[in-house]
A = this chain, B = another copy of it.
Amino acid sequence: MSPEGLRALLEGVREGRISPDDALERLRQLPFEDLGFAKVDHHRALRRGFPEAIFGAGKSPDQVRAIVESIVGRGQNVLVTRAGREVFEGVAALRPEAEYHEAARCISVRVAPTALLGGRVAVACAGTSDVPVAEEAAVTASFHGAEVDRVYDVGVAGLHRLLDRAPLIRAADVVIVAAGMEGALPSVVAGIVEAPVVAVPTSVGYGASFHGLAALLAMLNSCASGVAVVNIDNGFGAGYLASLILRRLAKRAGG
């Protein structure tokens, strides 16, 4: 119920068309979100104006397809993460506009134009094994309307490759850095850029990497200020956060 709806209700009461008891009952029944003054109510993804995303892990191809159809049927774009090719094929059979991002293991279905955010996200990663996580971040940011530059395989043991690509990284509004093993790359990157850095620990490694714990702890303890961290392998989260930041930029620029 919007403020307008609420005013209409109150007008109805004033005019005697609606009894106070009926009005009370209607207010009681309504979901909070419809009151307008609370705004806790809008579905979160819709409220943000961003299309929806589905976490594909643990869902069957049929389940994914059903959810995709339900969203796309409302005319909205949708992104599916952690989806294998067999899931994609099920979706593509239904919606030929579906696109598979192999390296990211993501499916995007666009049935509406993407509102461009007008900002740049640089996605860096340390080694080739980190690419799937980096790609999930890149595809996510791109899906939400960001321009994305990929700067891959720039691990700290070969600084020159990173320094070579520094101008590209420095041009970004937000930098996403994915790294496994010792997770050192975000600290080094944050030292050479002015933008906020979103660090994504990956589960790449073995032994004392403890499935990404080593990289996670390293990133949380970064000696460089301006770094925040998302969950291990959470490329989507990083890409989404970057998109939120760009949206603020877009609003400010447009305001």
Contact = CB atoms under 8 A, between A and B. Distances in A.
A142 to B, nearest CB: 16
A222 interface: yes
Query: Which of A42, A164, A255 has its CB near the most chain B CB atoms (within 10 A)?
Result: A164
A6 B6 CA distance: 14
Contact of A208 (B58, B181, B220, B226): B220
A41 B173 contact: no
A16 to B, nearest CB: 6
A248 B247 contact: no
A39 to B, nearest CB: 7
A40 B192 contact: yes
A24 B6 contact: yes
A11 interface: yes
Contacts of A187: 156-157, 182, 184
A108 B219 CA distance: 27
B40 A164 contact: no
Interface centre among A23, A196, A212, A255 (most CB of B within 10 A): A196
Contacts of A183: 182, 184, 218, 221
Number of copies: 8
A10 interface: yes
B245 A232 contact: no
A28 interface: yes
Contacts of A216: 207-208, 220
Interface string A142-180: 000000000000011111100110110010011000001
B10 A20 contact: yes
A135 to B, nearest CB: 16
Interface string A20-37: 110110011001110111
Given A39-B170, A159-B163, A245-B248, 18 more contacts: A3-B24, A33-B164, A38-B160, A39-B167, A44-B191, A157-B187, A157-B188, A157-B222, A157-B225, A182-B221, A194-B244, A194-B247, A196-B241, A206-B231, A217-B218, A228-B229, A228-B238, A249-B249
